[in-house]
């Protein structure tokens, strides 16, 4: 599986968009980009995933660059409850393991 690189921490003002970047320059054609988050010490929660098209759901949007070497998770109107560690994971469709990196710690402030 391709490795990912994320900034260790980010801040965002409440009500503003939070844009979390992820670099996955060695991604291969059959690998998906997944985002999970972990609030405090709870179990991680799935957010969104995509292959090459941009994706949107009720929680967030995922923008994947045309060359697929990087992506951005967008939380359109961050709230204090979005304070969490966000994990970007690249996983092949034929890969059984689900491996987490170190993630980005997002702090949303009032």
Partner 1 sequence: NAGVTQTPKFRILKIGQSMTLQCTQDMNHNYMYWYRQDPGMGLKLIYYSVGAGITDKGEVPNGYNVSRSTTEDFPLRLELAAPSQTSVYFCASSYRTVMNTEAFFGQGTRLTVV
Binding site for partner 1 (CB under 8 A): 32, 34, 36, 41-46, 49, 85, 87, 91, 93, 96-103
In the complex with partner 1, the residue whose CB is nearer, 25 or 95, is 95
* Cβ at position 42, least distance to partner 1 in Å: 6
Residue 59: CB minimum distance to partner 1, A: 12
Nearer to partner 1, 14 or 23 (CB): 23
Which residue's CB is nearer to partner 1, number 43 or number 110?
Answer: 43
Nearest distance, CB of residue 101 and partner 1, angstroms: 6
Least separation, in Å, of the C-beta of 46 and partner 1? 4
Report residue 82: phi and psi, to 5°: -85, -5
Long-range CB pairs of 23-29, under 8 A, 24+ apart, other chains included: 23/69, 23/70, 24/68, 24/69, 24/70, 24/71, 24/88, 24/90, 25/69, 25/70, 26/2, 27/2, 27/68, 27/69, 27/90, 28/2, 28/92
């Amino acid at each position: 599986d391709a490795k990912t690189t994320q900034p260790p921490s980010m801040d965002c003002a409440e009500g503003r968009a939070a844009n979390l970047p992820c670099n996955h320059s060695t991604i291969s054609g059959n690998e998906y980009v997944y985002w999970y988050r972990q609030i405090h010490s709870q179990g991680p929660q799935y957010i969104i995933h995509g292959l090459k098209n941009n994706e949107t759901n009720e929680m967030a949007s995922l923008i994947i660059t045309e060359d697929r070497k990087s992506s951005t998770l967008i939380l359109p109107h961050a709230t204090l409850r979005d304070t969490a560690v966000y994990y970007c994971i690249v996983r092949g469709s034929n890969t059984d393991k689900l491996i987490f990196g170190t993630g980005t710690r997002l702090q949303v402030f009032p």
